[in-house]
Chains A and B, each alone.
Chain A
């Protein structure tokens, strides 16, 4: 059984640029959630996708957007990057009808300069 994978591992972008982060869900999972973790803080919920539809969103502006594909992999897109977007971005997959236990990937460290 393959775990949750994320790419890239690290990324450095300039303020105002756009970025796409990728996540492959664990086999058999139909739900993916994205979280932002600033240094020294707990992760904050960005949004969740279930069967390719957005299924809940946290307190993040519209420049944070996402996609889930038929194979349940997912993308997080961030437009017009700001310095405060520098963080660890975590993807978690789960099986919605299986008790919502979430399995996390290793994360993507984004630095905005």
Chain B
């Protein structure tokens, strides 16, 4: 049974810092991995999608890596800003298209 774990559960950093969020999964037979952002009480915004054959994806200040063999992904956020404050969720997709989520990392960026 696939399980997804995110560490840390919460993170507080000063503005301008570079930071890394971690995600691990127990079954390497994934179709893809997505990172989402969720603001309080809101839906999910897709940040990056990495297909199983890819190693990383980049979008602006965000870079996500995938190491399927070790069951790990990281989301790197460069030069963090207060507007980056949110919960970040990692999810893996099996061949059925069902997403399995981690518990999320709640990020606070202090001005």
Contacts and interface: CB of A to CB of B under 8 A. Distances in A.
Interface residues of A, number: 30
A42 B103 contact: yes
A45 B98 contact: yes
Given A99-B49, A101-B49, A102-B97, 13 more contacts: A4-B43, A35-B99, A40-B103, A42-B103, A45-B99, A55-B97, A56-B98, A90-B44, A92-B44, A94-B97, A101-B46, A104-B45, A106-B42
30 contacts: A6-B43, A33-B98, A35-B99, A41-B103, A42-B4, A42-B89, A42-B101, A43-B89, A43-B101, A48-B98, A55-B96, A58-B98, A90-B43, A90-B44, A92-B99, A96-B97, A99-B31, A100-B31, A100-B32, A101-B49, A102-B46, A102-B93, A102-B97, A102-B99, A103-B46, A104-B36, A106-B42, A107-B42, A107-B43, A109-B41
Interface of B: 4, 31-32, 34, 36, 41-46, 49, 51, 89, 91, 93, 96-104
Interface of A: 4, 6, 31, 33, 35, 40-45, 48, 55-56, 58, 88, 90, 92, 94, 96, 99-107, 109
